[in-house]
Amino acid sequence: MRLQSSPVPSVLLPLLLLPLLLGLCSGTSFPSNINIGGLFPTGSHEYEVFRFALAQHQDVPKLVPQVDMVDTGSSFAMTYAFCSQFSKGVYAIMGLYDRRTVNMLMSFCGSLHVCFVTPSFPVQTNNQFVLQLRPQLQEPLMALLEHFYWTKFVYMYSSDSGLSVLQRILDTAAEHSWQVTSVNLDTLTEAAFIKLLTDLDYKKDFQIIIDCELERLNSILNLIAAQRRNLKNYHYILANLGFMDLNMTEFQKLGPNVTGFQLMNRSDPAVEKINQDWLDFDSKDLKLARRRLKYTGALTYDGVSVMATAFQNLRRQRIDISRRGNAGECLANPPAPWGQGIDIQRALQQVRLEGLTGWVQFDERGHRTNYTLNVMELTHIGPRKIGYWNERRGYVNTAVYKPVVEEFHGLQNRTYIVTTILEAPYMMLRKNHEQFEGNERYEGYCAELAAEIAKHVGFVYRLELVGDGKYGARDSETKMWNGMVGELVYGKADVAVAPLTITLVREQVIDFTKPFMSLGISIMIKKPTKSKPGVFSFLDPLAYEIWMCIVFAYIGVSVVLFLVSRFSPYEWQGDDSDDEDETLPSSASRRALPTSSSELSPGYSQNQNQNQNQQKDKETPEYTNDFGIFNSLWFSLGAFMQQGCDISPRSLSGRIVGGVWWFFTLIIISSYTANLAAFLTVERMVSPIESAEDLAKQTEIAYGTLDGGSTKEFFRRSKIAVFEKMWSYMRSADPTVFVKNTNEGVIRVRKSKGKYAYLLESSMNEYIEQRKPCDTMKVGGNLDSKGYGVATPKGSALRNPVNLAVLKLNEQGLLDKLKNRWWYDKGECGLGGGDSKDKTSALSLSNVAGVFYILIGGLGLAMLVALVEFCYKSRIESRRMKELIDAAMMSTSLVGGGAGGGGALVGGFVGGGGGGGGASGLGGENGRLVAHDFPKAGGQGLPCMSKASGLGLSSTGM
């Protein structure tokens, strides 16, 4: 019996094919390649990790990158790149943003329904299309502050991520009465930040929070470490999620207490495996080995994982997200949102996975939630975990503190290589160095310093000169170090003992001990010639204003003394009291004559009255005053010259004037004498430049530095106005003011005749000042402060022993002895800096020539005045003589024509000359004439008429 299959009814056939067709349609509607956009800065770590993560996720659907390298801080560049990727039909975008572009990106994403996944700093927003991979730090930071009981601290932040945290801190501070000092790091220059550190140290603000991105935080910690401060009292909280990504090698040496957060669990085997794959990724094409993943790179890797998981979930759910036709215009008004964008956003938000940064989960606003942060601290052996924080339990402390055990590493039994450089007086070859071997060939400050360090530490060493003769700098092209620093970095030497300046860039690659010599940039000029004292240098002890005041005081005191003597009655005195007493009897008898001779004739009575009037004038005393104007001037001058005078005031007022003038002259003369010796014996050197400000204010004297040295770099980077002005001049000077080496700069100073100043380290400046021909000098103070240190490679076992040896040598005073020996004891110019003459040598004629000039001038003036007095007096006397002779001749002629004859005239003339004319009126009218004309002149006692008989005059002679 054969069975036959019945045909399928035609009605059921479409029903059977419908599920198959639906499955095929649904399978073909989901794309196999998903275009993912990328917005990254050029050469960023996040972009390299983005490439690595896409290579790791090759599952279907495959993520195809569409990356634009843009400036994340430029709104125009970000807008153009975003619109370009949107027009290309990307399904989602991963990238970074800046505080200047974050609002623009959020606006585009919210309007066009395009998801943006970012590892950048989190912002407070309700935009669900922006998924923020980085957890927020407000709550963990607040929990840590409460755990440490901080109530007074400094919050340093950058404007990117710190503003939201600052707002939360200020709100909490208002509730709990905290004292918070906020500092915006974006507004500070390097010099301002260093000044801030000084202020914090002065105010004892030892609790500090630093909130900024990883690179900025690294530079800040290095800058703090470069100040070489003792940070054992400080406690830093680093508000950053990459505590173990920081390079705190130098910062750790200062002994601070540092706490921070770590997002990646580097001890997790899965994390270690991915980190190793990252190090091996494209390793053949790399010139330098990769560094391990940073926490921002781990966030980027987790972001790609979230995208891959979300699109796989969409594919499994058979949701159609294909973009058909034109993708749309991002700048359309009104905006045209993408219809499938909400499905992708929902898929991304619903992802749950365990990533490199722990548990990855988002809330409805696109923020990370249910995450855990490890809390770390810095110890002497490196970072270690002390606790953790999560949303459910807050901060949990898990640290178990153990006593610190110091680890001392023994030195290997071998000969260590000490690299150095020939630079007098630090390291020099002996004059007969060919006769010596090894370290004995060298001498100098650093040669003895190396020997002392080796003796204290206990190791054997060999001095070797650096091959290229350089101190050490990093080549900008090859990034390789040269000089002594390069020999330490690349293992060619073990220690560098030389005048090697401790700088930030060198400290990053090698270790320095404490400075064995402190110095700074100084100014070298040619020593100016000594100024010879002037002819009138004896006037220099007092200013010209004081001399003028003394002259006016002298004149004023003389005038006041003259006026006081005139007004005071005690300064007036009679001529001679003895003469008055002798004349009293004769006058009395003369007054009695009229009573006893009343019968005399009227003519006789008239003559007798005239004689009585003349006698009364004689009886009245004539008062004189010694202090005329000339005597007052002479008295004041004698007192000022400390010589006195033959007259002195009698009145109280005059003595007051004299007393205050004597006191005045005592102080003035004492002050003058005290300063006179210094001004006459010291030949001063007048320097045209005293400081850097003097150099900057003028252009007559050129100034420059060593070309390519640290001094030139100091001026180039300085933000101080004076140094900026000096750098502007040096950079544009023609001919160039820069020199190739120190010797060339010194020669230029010596040959420029004072028209060139050289800027160099103060120690070298002081050394050259003690070298012949002793014609240079250091002026002003140091422009900066730095130090020379002994250098060792990073992590060298010699660092701590050598550092302790330097400190011990400094405390013992040996470093100062070494400097005195090589700078001054072996100097060629003496302690006076080249002036071997005694400062208090004997005075020369040029010092006191003005005094001799005044003496000679005074003697000549006296002779001239004496001649003038003689001529003047002779002329006056001759004129009086002529008048007397003329009067006598006239009287003779008058007497000869009258009745009295010439005898009476002669008798009267002789009587008038010898007795003062007392009896010359006995001849009637002739007596009156004689008494009227001659007695007055005779009574005054003219010098030429004191003895009339001597003239030999008579009536016959006339």
34 and 61 in contact (C-beta within 8 Å)? yes
Residues 6+ apart with CB under 8 A from 332: none
- Identity of residue 623: Y
Q: How far is CA 833 from the centre of its chain?
A: 27
What phi and psi, each to the nearest 5 degrees, are found at residue 841?
-70, 170
What is the pLDDT, as a whole number, of residue 304?
A: 93
Alpha helices in 897-944 (DSSP H): 901-914, 925-933, 935-940
CB 705 within 8 Å of CB 765: no
553: nearest Cα among 418, 439, 667: 667
- How far is C-alpha 561 from the geometric centre of its chain's CA atoms? 57
The three-state secondary structure class of 651 is coil
Residue 242's φ and ψ, nearest 5 degrees, are: -120, 60
Burial status of residue 236 (CB atoms within 10 A of its CB: 0-12, 13-18, 19 or more): buried
Phi-psi sector, 184: left (phi>0), alpha (psi -120 to 50), beta: beta
Q: What pLDDT does residue 303 have?
A: 93
| Cβ-based neighbour number of residue 574 at 10 Å | 12
- At 577, is the secondary structure helix, strand, or coil? helix
Q: What 8-state DSSP symbol labels residue 292?
A: P
| C-alpha–C-alpha distance, residues 60 and 582, integer Å | 157
User: What is the DSSP secondary structure assignment for residue 120, as one 8-state letter?
Assistant: S
Q: Please give the average pLDDT of every successive group of 10 residues along the chain, which has 958 residues.
A: 39 42 47 88 90 86 89 90 87 90 90 91 88 92 91 89 86 89 90 88 86 90 81 86 89 85 90 89 67 90 92 86 60 78 89 92 91 90 89 86 43 80 89 88 93 91 90 80 87 89 86 91 84 70 85 89 84 60 40 39 50 56 78 85 80 84 88 76 67 87 84 87 91 88 88 89 88 87 89 85 92 90 82 48 67 78 84 89 88 62 39 38 38 40 38 36
Residue 728 structure tokens? 């502007």
Q: 395 near 144, Cβ under 8 Å?
A: yes
| Contact of 321 with 314, CB cutoff 8 Å | yes
Helices (H), 281-333: 295-316
Cis-peptide, bond into residue 61, ω within 30° of zero: yes
* CA distances for 45 relative to 101, 265, 596, 859, angstroms: 20, 19, 150, 97
The residue type found at 895 is V
Question: What pLDDT is recorded for position 299?
Answer: 93
Asked whether the beta carbons of 569 and 657 are under 8 A apart, the reply is no
CA-nearest of 193, 247, 195 to 507 is 247
Interstrand relation of 382-390 and 394-397 (parallel, antiparallel or unpaired): antiparallel
Query: 160: which 2 tokens?
Result: 């990117």
User: In angstroms, what CA-CA distances link 654 with 523, 538, 572, 923?
Assistant: 61, 32, 12, 53
Cα separation, 766 vs 820, whole angstroms: 11
Look at residues 956, 953, 946, 943 and name the one whose alpha carbon lies nearest to residue 888. 953
Question: Exposure of 209 by Cβ count < 10 A (0-12 exposed, 13-18 middle, 19+ buried)?
Answer: buried
**pLDDT at residue 541, as a whole number:** 80
- What's the CA gap between 884 and 485, in Å, rounded? 114
C-alpha 78/C-alpha 95 separation (Å) is: 10
> Residue 360 pairs with which residues in a beta bridge?
353
- Residue 496's pLDDT is what? 94
Residue 263 and residue 295 in contact, taking contact as beta carbons nearer than 8 Å = yes
| 708 CB-side CA count, 13 A | 11
Check residue 685 and give left, alpha or beta (phi > 0: left; psi -120 to 50: alpha). beta
Residue 791 to residue 785: CA distance in whole angstroms: 19
| CA 107 centroid distance within chain | 49
For the chain, the residue count is: 958
Mapped onto helix, strand or coil, the DSSP state of residue 261 is strand
Helix (H, G, I), strand (E, B) or coil at 355: strand
Compute the CA torsion angle 205, 209, 210, 214 (nearest 10 deg). 140
Q: How many C-beta atoms surround the C-beta of residue 621 within 10 A? A: 13
Peptide bond just before 334 cis, omega within 30 deg: yes
